[in-house]
Amino acid sequence: MKKTYSGACHCGVVRFEADIDLSIGTFKCNCSICTMNRFWPAIVGPESFRLLSGESDLTEYRFNTKMNRHLFCSHCGVRAFGIGYSPDGGQVYGVNVMCLGNLDIDELMSAPITYVDGRNEKWHAAPSEIRHL
């Protein structure tokens, strides 16, 4: 069931709300940027994400195919969310679950995790090693 979560970066400049169904699950990817940032997203459609403040304080980084928008707060450096595309080409938001202020830890721990082998561009397969993710 979808629940509305409030989220923010570390300094609170970037604030958002997102309607997320954690029972659908979260993702962990082993690509270079997700690994280095420890990014742990829940994926939602644009209709389920609302940026409340801080749009002008976001810095964007794109690499490789330059398709995905890796956004982070220009003040504290936290990556609270990013914008990418699903396999069918539709836009999606990756919401960093660790930036959700009203997240119950038991709720998070019961959410399934899909591991993705982004390092080898095998987006529909789990990597052979996941302990570090």
The pTM score is 0.92
Question: In Å, what is the CA distance from 76 to each residue of 10, 11, 72, 121?
Answer: 6, 6, 8, 30
Query: Tens of pLDDT along 15-71?
Result: 999 999 999 999 999 999 999 999 999 999 999 999 999 999 999 999 888 889 999
pLDDT band at 104 (very low <50, low <70, confident <90, very high): very high
- Taking alpha carbons only, the member of 104, 111, 108, 131 closest to residue 30 is 131
- Taking alpha carbons only, the member of 123, 80, 101, 109 closest to residue 22 is 109
Q: Hey, what domains does the chain have and what are their CATH numbers?
A: 3-120 (2.170.150.70)
Length of the chain: 133
Average pLDDT, the chain: 94
pLDDT band at 89 (very low <50, low <70, confident <90, very high): confident
Which residues does residue 85 pair with via DSSP β-bridges, in sequence order? 91
